[in-house]
Amino acid sequence: MKPTEFKRRRSQLMKMMGKNTIAILPSASEIIRNRDAHFPFRQDSDFLYLTGFNEPDAVMVLMPGRKHGEYILFCREKDPEQETWNGRRAGQEGAIETYGADDSFPIDDIDDILPGLLEGTDSIYNVMGRYPDFDKRLIGWVSHIKEQSRAGLHVPSEFVALDYLLHDMRLYKSREELRLMRKAAAINVRAHKRALKLCAPGKFEYQLAAEFDHEYRTHNAHHAYPAIVGGGANGCILHYTENTDELNDGELLLIDAGCEVEGYASDITRTFPVNGKYTNAQREVYDVVLAAHQAAVKKVKPGNHWNDPHNAAVRVITRGLVELKLLKGSVSKLIKERAYRKFYMHRTGHWLGLDVHDVGDYKVGDQWRLLEAGMVMTIEPGIYIPARSRGVHRKWWNIGIRIEDDVLVTRQGHEILTDALPRKATEIEALMAS
């Protein structure tokens, strides 16, 4: 992503902050996996959104109107020995030349420099609670200034939640962001098609999971979250991630997998027959979920509320469950009583962006948020019928179905970013047979 994109975001944020304010945002740190091995580093999404800087142990400071430069980046110094072992660092020169900082200082000097930057400001914008150790240091710096207030030092009077401004910004995707999300979607579609074609009885869940690893890494993408590859009964576990079981003839396979490109995520779920042909019972439930998906997507357009797609999906699913005799009673009463939650217990979607479950409020005040152009969400209705469900005929047991796509709100309506992956049962069967 171009440096100008990050500069635009920082400028927009600082306009909203106003004068005599300061924003302080730490980066993520490396996390120990075991002994001296680390988990793969993933930058804090807010930090990445504003800086594009992908190193640990850094702190971003924004000071609207500062004469010597509004954007300050504390980061690790260049260190040839450490870089030989652990990879290159940007250092202070790179922070300025590559990442657009106006000033850059060694992270080890932050205790000496940052209190001086805080002095004279009225409000501190930060993400209190996300990084408790850094919060303690920040409070300590402010307390130190307070101790010197008799000497005329101006003490910041309030802490303000940076999330409130920043997360609303992140809700509306720019052209650059959508370019990356479309790329992530295209890679993910190819990975799902690969798994569909290779699926067969006798294979193991982890073998199909490996196909996603291959496709993602081939295109320089990474998993956005641990893949769910659940065959049979495992498809009824919403967050199943063991991916160890053998795939059996006559069962369904639910795959929920997504990749990220430069931090931006895709998120797709498809449910298909292990042997390439849906049984009558599986097809009946599948068509209900597909109809719910279609009804929900139709509600994704500017001016509708966030909850409208969910309500549409609930109506279709509840009516379908009644027609299949899995629920008894009037549709309206069953919806009011939330009886559908026995088989459909989650929401129909979530925001999507730098985080799979992306930031942004779903309500404004007491009202569901209005959908606007530039927002990206998932649509993912489902029906899950575990074995031995009370009052349910065994022909329905272990049918777990979810259909999920990534949907952009446009000025005219919507765009399904993942539309290249088939959803209809006949199309899926044809792809598996090809």
In this structure, what CATH number is given to the domain that contains residue 122? 3.40.350.10
Tell me, yes or no, if 194 is annotated catalytic: no
State the virtual CA torsion across 216, 221, 224, 226 in degrees, nearest 10.
Answer: 40
Report CA-CA distances (Å) from 290 to 18, 171, 283, 296, 384. 48, 27, 10, 10, 14
Tell me, yes or no, if 222 is annotated catalytic: no
Total residues found in the chain within this entry: 434
399 and 317, same domain (yes or no): yes
More confident of the two residues 147 and 227: 227
Tell me, yes or no, if 350 is annotated catalytic: yes
Cβ neighbourhood burial of 398 (10 Å; 0-12, 13-18, 19+):
buried
In one-letter notation, the amino acid at residue 288 is V
Give the largest Cα separation in the chain, rounded.
Answer: 81
Per-residue pLDDT at 151: 63
**14, 66 contact by CB (below 8 A):** no
Pick the catalytic residue: 55, 355, 404, 405? 404
Q: Give the separation between CA 35 and CA 108, rounded to whole angstroms.
A: 25
Instruction: Tell me the mean pLDDT in the region 413-433.
Output: 98
Tell me, yes or no, if 36 is annotated catalytic: yes
**425, 291 contact by CB (below 8 A):** no
| pLDDT reading at 153 higher than 90 | no
214 and 164, same domain (yes or no): no
151 and 35, same domain (yes or no): yes
152 and 50, same domain (yes or no): yes
Out of 155, 170, 185, a domain closes at 170
80 and 19, same domain (yes or no): yes
Cβ neighbourhood burial of 358 (10 Å; 0-12, 13-18, 19+):
buried
In one-letter notation, the amino acid at residue 85 is W
The pLDDT tens digits of the residues spanning 37-52 come to: 999 999 999 999 999 9
Out of 119, 137, 170, a domain closes at 170
Out of 138, 170, 202, a domain closes at 170
Q: Give the separation between CA 349 and CA 380, rounded to whole angstroms.
A: 6
305 and 264, same domain (yes or no): yes
| pLDDT reading at 112 higher than 70 | yes
**114, 141 contact by CB (below 8 A):** yes
Instruction: Tell me the mean pLDDT in the region 61-70.
Output: 95
Q: How many domains does the chain have?
A: 2
249 and 398, same domain (yes or no): yes
Q: Give the separation between CA 332 and CA 319, rounded to whole angstroms.
A: 9
73 and 221, same domain (yes or no): no
Pick the catalytic residue: 239, 388, 390, 411? 239
**303, 414 contact by CB (below 8 A):** no
Instruction: Tell me the mean pLDDT in the region 13-35.
Output: 96
Among 219, 221, 313, 309, CA closest to 267: 221
More confident of the two residues 203 and 145: 203
**255, 195 contact by CB (below 8 A):** yes
CA 396 from chain centre, in angstroms, equals 32
Tell me, yes or no, if 176 is annotated catalytic: no
Among 204, 208, 191, 194, CA closest to 259: 191
166 and 176, same domain (yes or no): no
The pLDDT tens digits of the residues spanning 243-288 come to: 999 999 999 999 999 999 999 999 999 999 999 999 999 999 999 9
Split at pLDDT 50, 70, 90, the class of 155 is confident
Tell me, yes or no, if 340 is annotated catalytic: no
Split at pLDDT 50, 70, 90, the class of 146 is confident
Q: What is the mean pLDDT of the chain?
A: 96
Instruction: Tell me the mean pLDDT in the region 342-365.
Output: 97
Pick the catalytic residue: 350, 369, 415, 419? 350
120 and 178, same domain (yes or no): no
Pick the catalytic residue: 103, 177, 215, 256? 256
Pick the catalytic residue: 219, 283, 315, 346? 346
Among 386, 421, 390, 416, CA closest to 401: 386
Q: Which domain holds residue 280?
A: 172-433
165 and 177, same domain (yes or no): no
Tell me, yes or no, if 415 is annotated catalytic: no
**193, 204 contact by CB (below 8 A):** no
Pick the catalytic residue: 44, 119, 380, 429? 380
Per-residue pLDDT at 152: 65
Instruction: Tell me the mean pLDDT in the region 384-395.
Output: 95
The residue written with tokens 């609930």 in the block is: 314
| pLDDT reading at 202 higher than 70 | yes
Q: Tell me the sheet residues that pair with 268.
A: 257
Tell me, yes or no, if 262 is annotated catalytic: no
**358, 264 contact by CB (below 8 A):** no
Question: 159 phi and psi, to 5 degrees?
Answer: -100, 135
The Cβ-side half-sphere exposure at 303, using a 13 Å CA radius, reads: 4
164 and 194, same domain (yes or no): no
Pick the catalytic residue: 119, 260, 267, 405? 267
**221, 259 contact by CB (below 8 A):** yes
Tell me, yes or no, if 108 is annotated catalytic: no
* Percent of the chain predicted with pLDDT > 90: 95
The residue written with tokens 């539309």 in the block is: 419
Q: What is the CATH number for 426?
A: 3.90.230.10
Q: What is the DSSP letter of 235?
A: G
Tell me, yes or no, if 144 is annotated catalytic: no
pTM of the predicted model as reported, rounded to 2 decimal places: 0.95
Q: CA torsion sign, 61 to 62 to 68 to 73? A: positive
Instruction: Tell me the mean pLDDT in the region 159-185.
Output: 97
Q: Give the separation between CA 408 and CA 417, rounded to whole angstroms.
A: 7
Q: Give the separation between CA 154 and CA 132, rounded to whole angstroms.
A: 25
**405, 378 contact by CB (below 8 A):** yes
Among 202, 272, 277, CA closest to 230: 272
Split at pLDDT 50, 70, 90, the class of 77 is very high
Pick the catalytic residue: 402, 414, 423, 429? 402
Q: Give the separation between CA 367 and CA 237, rounded to whole angstroms.
A: 31
Tell me, yes or no, if 256 is annotated catalytic: yes
317 contacts: CB under 8 Å, gap ≥ 6 = 288, 289, 292, 340, 343, 344, 381, 383
